[in-house]
Amino acid sequence: MSLAVISIIAISLGAFGCAGLTDQQIVSKIIDTSNNVKSFKLGMDISENTGNVSAKETGTASVNNVTKEALMNINTVMDSTPGGTQTSTIDEYLTGGYLYMKENITGTDYWTKIKVDESRWNAEDQLAQQIVFLQTATSISRLDDETVNGLDCYVFQITPDMSEVLKWMQSQSPSGTGLQNLNPDVYKSTTLKMWIDKKELIPAKREY
């Protein structure tokens, strides 16, 4: 069982009015608006339980699409029987065409420096990953509006075509990575909820 909550605060070049539009027209404008986002902040909270192993992953990220710079922090706590509890922290800094990654495992820091080209940047685009769920949706239904972090939001229940989502992720991923070798048949369709900021027409939260 897993639970993932992704929260996004974005700054776009301008939003569209949605008065009088159908749900599908609103979704189309959300997709259009995503192309105009200059920067965004991301929060992540993922819990997973599999057999004797439970893991909790929390993190934050700030991304500037104009300067192609990003800052990310991920904290992971894993409990297993009989292994006990293990913690790790990853800090990533993307600037000047390089990704600097510091991983702390059991109190020891490990540094990695990676050259980042356009394909790597696209693969790390978290906002685009949210939008692809809408673009590939086989079913979209409107739920009651809600407020998230003070934002008035539309709420949609979405069933994306996971085989198409995986194809998109593989197309954005650099060659030679493990993602390229994943079997689409392994991934079944899933249903998720997405909260959309009414003012900016940008995803504010995702949960599945």
pTM of the model: 0.71
What is the C-alpha separation between 105 and 193, in angstroms, rounded?
A: 33
Q: What are the pLDDT digits (tens) for 1-52? A: 444 444 555 555 444 556 667 888 888 888 888 878 888 888 888 887 777 8
Would you say residue 187 has pLDDT above 80? no
Count of Cβ atoms closer than 10 Å to residue 155 Cβ: 17
Q: Are 75 and 105 in contact (CB under 8 A)?
A: no
Q: By three-state DSSP, how is residue 29 classified?
A: helix
Q: What are the pLDDT digits (tens) for 102-155? A: 998 777 899 999 888 877 777 677 788 788 888 888 888 999 999 988 889 999
Q: Are 53 and 79 in contact (CB under 8 A)?
A: yes
What is the C-alpha separation between 30 and 127, in angstroms, rounded?
A: 12
What is the C-alpha separation between 161 and 85, in angstroms, rounded?
A: 36
What is the C-alpha separation between 178 and 51, in angstroms, rounded?
A: 24
149: tokens are 């972090």
